[in-house]
Structures are given as structure tokens and as C-alpha cells.
């Protein structure tokens, strides 16, 4: 009997559309002799839908029509599997649309990639691909990530956290704090978004105010860090878990401006140097140099830093770590981690001889391995505390006796 893989994508995120493309691209490469793929679409208001149509990319040109001919479902734990129960319930007829054995989230951004979806899957007790709740949350929080990496001697740029409530109360003081810590130019970015959403460079007081106002439209908390003027960006993938992990080839993304934008990442169709089909709407379409234009010493340094970052943050599955090289100072910094990278960064693994089906298989096996390891962990113990509690009617007033 084939294993049923629940492919989760979409969600209430600024990267909703990117997730759809990444997931349905991946769906084409699973080993169909071993797996049945159940495409589970999460709407922007966090409802789950499934049908014969949710796995077809052309259906997402009219999502209203797609939902009308699909089944809304609830996820219900049933032993070691999860049933996809039709909702609203009908008195007669089959209430279960299907079931899944393993969850495979290909979601991007806040409210899904940040541990939210992973927490739900944890409670359902189903094996799932990728980082757990903790590493997903830390990977999304740029400030928390920087603090952990810095504590473990992994270089990151210094930053200042700016709170929206403090800014609304006294914007002049916040701006002065930024200027006292950093010289212009600085980069202003939301603390918890990816795909370059909400990011701007500020070169003077006027553009700083504009950048803060713009970024606060995406998040209640921002980080401000120095903008490296002589910059080279390099990305590296990591595959594995805390026990064993390996690095991919390094790529050098090529942007159309000073910051690698959302449009550069997902709306380009000029990624000619990848040797892939360059699917528009995914990171695969990004213009890049692959391998990156760096010397061998720098390449190996970045690959080691990538694995160290992955393990330090407790990651599992596949991630992409983005680096900044300050060419003037000859220093390398971790910029951010993508715990579920666009297109699963398969193009980085293709460059070292691993095809997409093999990558997907390894990710599934890592999920199964983690579930087996967790079966040996004690999460509860016998206690008679509830038998000692009196919550009403007596003079003990609910105290434990």
C-alpha cells in the first residue's frame, strides 16, 4: 500500500502565492510508485480545502471557483494517521474525504512557516517534513536568530530592534536612537518576514522615516542594521538534522537593485545559469551565478557556516542560509535562514548531483526518523494531583490538599 503524503501549501501569509507554486512544482517529482500525494490548500483565512482540483496550478487563477468545487476539511487524528473530514458534516454519506500518513508543508512566511502549522501537526501526532516548532519560530524571528547565532560565535550584523508602539509614542526619539547607533546607510526590515517583503534602505533622515513607516505596515516590530555598501550575497542550502547535515553548492543571486527584491526572487524569468526549467514564481527563476563567483576558501567557509547555523538553530529537513560578504572588510555574515526555502532550493542540490525526487525522498525519511526518535522521549508521567484537587463548595476554596 502506498504512503499518503499530505502536501500543505498557501496560508495567511504575504508569500501565499509563492507557496502554491513551490508546492505544486514539488508535487510533480514525488516517487508515484511509493506515494500518493494529497494536495491540501490553506486559504488566506486559514481554511483547509482538498479535491481533485487543488493539485492543478491553473485552477488557482480563479480561487473562488476552485473552492466552490472543493471540499473544506478538518484534520482529525485517527491512530497514526490523520483523517481529512468533510466540513460542514452531512448526516448521510461518507464524512471522510481521505487520510494522510505524513505531512509535507511547503509554506512560506508568517502564520505558517513560523511554527504555527508545525504546532498543529505536532498535536496531531503525524510525522511532518522540515523544522520543528522551535527552530521554525526562531528561524522566522530575525532578532532571535541573530542573538542565538552571536552567542554561538557565528558572525551576524549588529542590529537595533524598533517597536511600533514606542515609535508611535515618540518617533523622534526612536529615530535618534537609530542614528546614534549606526551611520547611514541602514536597512530597515520587518523582524519576521521573508522574500524581501517590507525592506528598504535609508540614506538620510527623510528616507529613514519613510522606511520605518513602510516597514511598520508589515509588522509591529522591526530591525535596523547597517547597510553594507560593498556587498556580495551568497546562498547555501543545508540538508539533514542535528545529528548529520551537509551543505549544497553556493549560489550568488543577482538583483536588479541594491536589495534583492521580491520581484527579483519570484517574478524574474531570466535564471539562465541554473540549468533548470526556470519556473516563474519560484526561487528557481531568480537570476544567479551557480556556482557563486567566490574563491574556494570562501566557499568552504560559507558551507561550514551554513551547517553550523543549521545545527545551532536545531533545524531539520532542508533550509537555505543567506550570507552577506562585506568585500571591503573581507568579512562574512549570516543574513537569514529560510527554514522552508522557495522551491526547496532543489536547484542548489542539483548542482551537486542530487535530483529533485531524491531530495524529496530524503526529506520524507528525515521526518520518519524524527518521529521514531520522539517516541522514546517522555512527555508525561503518572500523577494523582487531580485526585487531590477540590474546586468548589468546601472551605478549602479550591486549594490542593
| 163-177, 257-271, 347-361, range with the lowest pLDDT | 257-271
Residues 321 and 186 placed together within one structural domain of the fold: no
Q: What's 199's domain CATH number?
A: 3.30.1490.20
What percentage of the chain reaches a pLDDT higher than 70?
89
CA distance 102 to 183: 49
Q: Taking residues 242-253, what's their average pLDDT? A: 98
* pTM across the whole model: 0.89
**What b-and-e string marks burial along 312-336, b requiring 16 or more CB atoms within 10 Å of the CB?**
bbbbbbbbbbbbbbbeeeeebbbbb
Q: Is residue 205 in some structural domain?
A: yes
Q: Is residue 34 in some structural domain?
A: yes
Residues 123 and 176 placed together within one structural domain of the fold: no
**Residue with the three cell numbers 576558501:** 297
Q: Inform me whether the pLDDT recorded for 313 exceeds 70.
A: yes
Residues 38 and 144 placed together within one structural domain of the fold: no
Residues 147 and 250 placed together within one structural domain of the fold: yes
pLDDT digits (tens, 9 = 90+) for 262-272: 554 545 554 43
Q: Taking residues 375-398, what's their average pLDDT? A: 71
Domain count, the chain: 3
Q: 3-class DSSP state for residue 70? A: coil
CA distance 169 to 288: 43
Helix (H) or strand (E) holding 9: strand 3-10
State residue 383's pLDDT score. Answer: 74
State residue 307's pLDDT score. Answer: 99
State residue 281's pLDDT score. Answer: 55
Residues 64 and 76 placed together within one structural domain of the fold: yes
Residues 169 and 214 placed together within one structural domain of the fold: yes
Q: Taking residues 59-67, what's their average pLDDT? A: 98
Which residues does residue 42 pair with via DSSP β-bridges, in sequence order? 10, 48
Q: What's 265's domain CATH number?
A: 3.30.470.20
| 17-31, 125-139, 250-264, 293-307, range with the lowest pLDDT | 250-264
Q: Taking residues 138-143, what's their average pLDDT? A: 97
Q: Is residue 134 in some structural domain?
A: no
Q: Is residue 387 in some structural domain?
A: no
Residues 284 and 264 placed together within one structural domain of the fold: yes
State residue 272's pLDDT score. Answer: 39
State residue 377's pLDDT score. Answer: 77
Q: What's 123's domain CATH number?
A: 3.40.50.20
Q: Is residue 379 in some structural domain?
A: no
CA distances from 395 to 53, 384, 386, 387, 388 (A): 62, 21, 18, 17, 14
Range of the domain at 250: 139-154+229-369
Closest by CA to 347, choosing from 299, 278, 266, 264, is 278
The angle that helices 116-124 and 133-140 make with each other, rounded to 10 degrees, is 180
Count of C-beta atoms within a 10 Å radius of residue 22: 27
Q: Is residue 45 in some structural domain?
A: yes
Residues 146 and 277 placed together within one structural domain of the fold: yes
Q: Is residue 318 in some structural domain?
A: yes
pLDDT category of residue 91 using cuts at 50, 70 and 90: confident
Residues 365 and 233 placed together within one structural domain of the fold: yes
Average pLDDT over all residues of the chain: 91
82: which residues sit within 8 A by CB, 6+ positions away? 6, 75, 76, 99, 100, 103, 124, 126
State residue 194's pLDDT score. Answer: 73
Residues 257 and 352 placed together within one structural domain of the fold: yes
Q: Is residue 376 in some structural domain?
A: no
Residues 190 and 247 placed together within one structural domain of the fold: no
Q: Taking residues 72-88, what's their average pLDDT? A: 97
What's the count of helices (H) and strands (E) in the chain, helices before strands?
A: 12, 16
Residues 280 and 306 placed together within one structural domain of the fold: yes
Amino acid at each position: 500500500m502506498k504512503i499518503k503524503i499530505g502536501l500543505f501549501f498557501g496560508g495567511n501569509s504575504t508569500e501565499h502565492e509563492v507557496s502554491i507554486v513551490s508546492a505544486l512544482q514539488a508535487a510533480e517529482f514525488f516517487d508515484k510508485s511509493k506515494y500518493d500525494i494529497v494536495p491540501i490548500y490553506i486559504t488566506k483565512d486559514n481554511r483547509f480545502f482538498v479535491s481533485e482540483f487543488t493539485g492543478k496550478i491553473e485552477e488557482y487563477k480563479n480561487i473562488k471557483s476552485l473552492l466552490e468545487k472543493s471540499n473544506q476539511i478538518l484534520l482529525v487524528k485517527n491512530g497514526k494517521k490523520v483523517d481529512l473530514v468533510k466540513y460542514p458534516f452531512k448526516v448521510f454519506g461518507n464524512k471522510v474525504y481521505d487520510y494522510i500518513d505524513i505531512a509535507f508543508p511547503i509554506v512560506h512566511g508568517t502564520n505558517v512557516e513560523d511554527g504555527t502549522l508545525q504546532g498543529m501537526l505536532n498535536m496531531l501526532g503525524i510525522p511532518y517534513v522540515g523544522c520543528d516548532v522551535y527552530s521554525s519560530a526562531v528561524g522566522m524571528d530575525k532578532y532571535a536568530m541573530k542573538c542565538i547565532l552571536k552567542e554561538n560565535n557565528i558572525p551576524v550584523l549588529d542590529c537595533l530592534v524598533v517597536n511600533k508602539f514606542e515609535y508611535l509614542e515618540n518617533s523622534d526619539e526612536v529615530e535618534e536612537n537609530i542614528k546614534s547607533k549606526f551611520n547611514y546607510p541602514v536597512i530597515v526590515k520587518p523582524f519576521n518576514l521573508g522574500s524581501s517583503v517590507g525592506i528598504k534602505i535609508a540614506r538620510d533622515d527623510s528616507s529613514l522615516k519613510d522606511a520605518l513607516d513602510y516597514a511598520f505596515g508589515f509588522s509591529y516590530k522591526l530591525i535596523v542594521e547597517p547597510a553594507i555598501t560593498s556587498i556580495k550575497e551568497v546562498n547555501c542550502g543545508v540538508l539533514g538534522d542535528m545529528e548529520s547535515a551537509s551543505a549544497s553548492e553556493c549560489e550568488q543571486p543577482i538583483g536588479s537593485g541594491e536589495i534583492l527584491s521580491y520581484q527579483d526572487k519570484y517574478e524574474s524569468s531570466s535564471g539562465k545559469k541554473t540549468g533548470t526549467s526556470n519556473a516563474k514564481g519560484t526561487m528557481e527563476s531568480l537570476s544567479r551565478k551557480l556556482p557563486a563567483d567566490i574563491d574556494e576558501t570562501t566557499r568552504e567557509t560559507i558551507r561550514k557556516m551554513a551547517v553550523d547555523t543549521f545545527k545551532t538553530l536545531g533545524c531539520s529537513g532542508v533550509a537555505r542560509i543567506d550570507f552577506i560578504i562585506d568585500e571591503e572588510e573581507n568579512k562574512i555574515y549570516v543574513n537569514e535562514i529560510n527554514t522552508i526555502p522557495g522551491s526547496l532550493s532543489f536547484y542548489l542540490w542539483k548542482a551537486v548531483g542530487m535530483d529533485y525526487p531524491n531530495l524529496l525522498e530524503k526529506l520524507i525519511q528525515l521526518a520518519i526518523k524524527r518521529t521514531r526518535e520522539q517516541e522514546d522521549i517522555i512527555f508525561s508521567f503518572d500523577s494523582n494531583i487531580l485526585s487531590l484537587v477540590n474546586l468548589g463548595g468546601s472551605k478549602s476554596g479550591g486549594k490542593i490538599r
